[in-house]
Structure 1
Amino acid sequence: MASKLSCDFYRQPTLDVAKTLIGKKFVHRNSKGKLSGRIVEVEAYIGEDDPACHARFGMTGRNSVMYGDGGHLYVYFIYGMYNMLNFVTEDEGVPAAVLIRAIEPLEGISEMQANRACIDERQLCSGPGKLCQAFGVKVSDTGKSLTGAEFSVVDDGIQPGQIVARTRIGIRQGRDLLWRFYDSESKFVSRK
C-alpha cells in the first residue's frame, strides 16, 4: 500500500533523508492532472558550515525557507535559465535541504515531453533543471508543503537498486563530501 511521506520524515538528519528518498515517488498535481516519477539521484546540502550550501552566509530572503521546518519546497533559479528543486530537511533553525537531481518519469509523461520539448524519456528528468521543466516546478513553489495536495512524495514499496554515494556535481567548494546519492541500476541518473 502506497503512503505519503509525513513531515516527520523530512525532520530527520539530511543525509538519512537523502538516501531514503532514492526509490520514492515524487508527485505533482496540477490543473492538467498528475505528474509523477521515481527519485533516482539526490544531493545533500547541510547548514552554514557546508561551503556549497546556500545557507553558508546565513539567512537571506532567498534561502529563508531552508531555516524553516522540514517538508517544504525550496526552488531557486540558477545560471539565468534553470530552476532547482530542493526538499527542506531537519528541524526549524537548521538550514538544510536535499537537491533532487534526477527522476525516472512514471505518470504524465506526455505532459512532461511537451513541457521539455523532448521525446526521449531518459532525457526528460535526467538533471535538476530538466526535471523542473518537465514537472513545471517554479520558484513561486518555494515554501509549498510536500505533504499537501499539490506536491508529495510517496513510498509505494518499490526498492531501488544499490544506492551509491559520490561527490556532488557542479560546485567549487565542498567537492570532497560524498553527499550525492543515486540508484546505481537506474538509466535515468544524470551522471554516474
Structure 2
Amino acid sequence: MEMNDKMPKKPLNKQFFQQPTLELAKSLLGCLLVNETEEGLSAGYIVETEAYIGPHDRAAHSYGNRRTKRTEIMYGQAGLVYTYSMHTHCLINVVSAGIDEPEAVLIRALEPVTGIGLMKKRRPVDQMKNLTNGPGKLTKAMGITMEDYGRTFYERPLYISDGYSPTEIEQGTRIGIQNSGEARDYPWRFWVKGNPYVSR
C-alpha cells in the first residue's frame, strides 16, 4: 500500500544512527528510505544492508584508516550520507560509529512503496522485482546521486523514517568483495527473509 505522497513521514532522529554498526545494519531493515525531489517523492523499505567496519575490515574503503577525498565523510558523525561511484553506478551508505571511527552501512536493496511510477520512469524495467533489488539499481530508481554526498539521513530531502519491524532477519557474507582476504567471509550482510527485492 502506498503512503500518501502529500504527507511524507518524519525523519528518524539522529540518535537512531548512534548504535554499533552491526546493530544499525539490522535496525535499518524495514525502515523507509525517502527522497523528495523536484520530480516528486519516492520511497521504499530497506530490505538488505551490508556493514563495513573500517580500519580493520579489508573490504571497507577506510581499511587501515585510509583517508581520501572520497572517504572523508566516513570520519564524520553517524547518520551522514556517503555516496560513491562504482563503475557507472552511484551507491549509498549510512555513516555509522563515532567521529574518527570510519564505519558505514551500505543500503543494498529496497522494496518500492511510494512514487513507483516515478521510479520506473527513471529506471524502466520489465519485472517489478528488478526495480530496486541491488545497490546501483535503487539509487537510480530513487533519484539519488553523488550530489547527495554529505547530507544527513535525519533531515529532508533524503532521509530515513519509521517503517515496519521484519519478523525474520537472515545474515550471510557480503557480495562483490572477493579480493578482501578474510573479510570476504565476515557474515555482515543482513536481509529480510523471503523478501522478493533482496539482491540474491
Task: Give TM class, smaller chain.
Answer: over 0.9
Displacement of 1:119 in angstroms is 4.4
Percent identity between matched residues is: 39
1:62-73 correspondence runs (5 A):
62-73=70-81
Q: TM-score under structure 1 normalisation? A: 0.94
- Could you tell me how far apart the structure 2 residues matched to 1:164 and 1:140 are? 32
Supply the AA of the counterpart residue of 1:144: R
Map of 1:110 onto structure 2: 117
- Select 2:154's aligned residue among 147, 155, 173: 147
Displacement of 1:40 in angstroms is 0.3
1:109-148 correspondence runs (5 A):
109-148=116-155
1:88-103 correspondence runs (5 A):
88-103=95-110
For the aligned residue pairs, the C-alpha RMSD in angstroms reads 1.2
- Could you tell me how far apart the structure 2 residues matched to 1:118 and 1:13 are? 36
- Could you tell me how far apart the structure 1 residues matched to 2:177 and 2:61 are? 12
* 4+ long deviations beyond 2 Å: none
Supply the AA of the counterpart residue of 1:72: L
Query: How many residues get paired?
Result: 188
Q: Does 1:77 align with 2:79?
A: no
Q: Give the gaps of 5 or more residues in structure 2.
A: 1-8
Q: Give the gaps of 5 or more residues in structure 1.
A: none
**Per-residue CA distance 1:110-160 (angstroms, 9 max, x = gap):** 11101112242211100000001101111121100111110111113x221
Displacement of 1:59 in angstroms is 1.0
- Could you tell me how far apart the structure 2 residues matched to 1:13 and 1:165 are? 16
- Could you tell me how far apart the structure 2 residues matched to 1:34 and 1:112 are? 10
Supply the AA of the counterpart residue of 1:129: G
Map of 2:27 onto structure 1: 20
**Per-residue CA distance 1:64-99 (angstroms, 9 max, x = gap):** 0000001111010012x1111101111111101100
Q: TM-score under structure 2 normalisation? A: 0.90
